[in-house]
Amino acid sequence: MLRSVVQISQAHRSLAQEVIDRQIVEGTKKTYANNILHFTRWLVEHYPGCVEGEDEKDEIILPLPSEVIMAYMASIQRRNEDKTPVQHGGKLIAVSTMNTIGSSIANLYRSRNVIQSDEQKLCVKNFMAGHRRMVSSAKQGGETPI
């Protein structure tokens, strides 16, 4: 038996979208938006082929290669006192901050209805496990306050 194509009403579509929009509170949406803006600026500087648009309208092209996400996360995991990212030295940023950045990227995929691959999710998970271990070691070694 063939199914016919069903068109849902705009009212039902709007109602469903309203529920979807409430999955994240406004403060978190703003944090995610700021994180994605920072990520977009980093991509424009380092991997401009991953972004399309002009200036204020730059948009990340999804799906991104996992290596690009790992490079970004590695480049921002340490900061100077003025909070600018550094490759070596500096202070490791909090695990919770890195988790929020990973969640921001995952939310970007969700918001665009693009599936983030299992391989990419695993890369982020493994990166976070390594970062967590680095922060723990820094705390144990007295380099970072507990």
**Full residue range of the structural domain in which residue 91 is found:** 25-140
Q: Is residue 124 part of a domain?
A: yes
pLDDT at 138 > cutoff 90: no
> What pLDDT shows up at residue 1?
61
Q: Is residue 16 part of a domain?
A: no
| Count of structural domains, the chain | 1
pLDDT at 80 > cutoff 90: no
Q: Is residue 60 part of a domain?
A: yes
Q: Is residue 15 part of a domain?
A: no
Give the pLDDT band (50/70/90) at residue 78.
confident
Interval 16-39 mean pLDDT:
90
pLDDT at 2 > cutoff 70: no
Cβ-defined contacts of 117-125 (< 8 Å, 24+): 117/63, 117/66, 119/66, 120/63, 120/64, 120/66, 120/69, 123/66, 123/69, 123/70, 124/69, 124/70, 124/73
What letter would DSSP give residue 25? -
Q: What percent of the chain has pLDDT over 90?
A: 62
Q: Is residue 78 part of a domain?
A: yes
Q: Is residue 6 part of a domain?
A: no
Q: Is residue 145 part of a domain?
A: no
Of 88 and 110, more confident = 110
pLDDT at 81 > cutoff 90: no
How many Å apart are CA 43 and CA 37, to the nearest integer? 10
pLDDT at 4 > cutoff 80: no
Q: Is residue 79 part of a domain?
A: yes
**Average pLDDT value over all residues in the chain:** 89
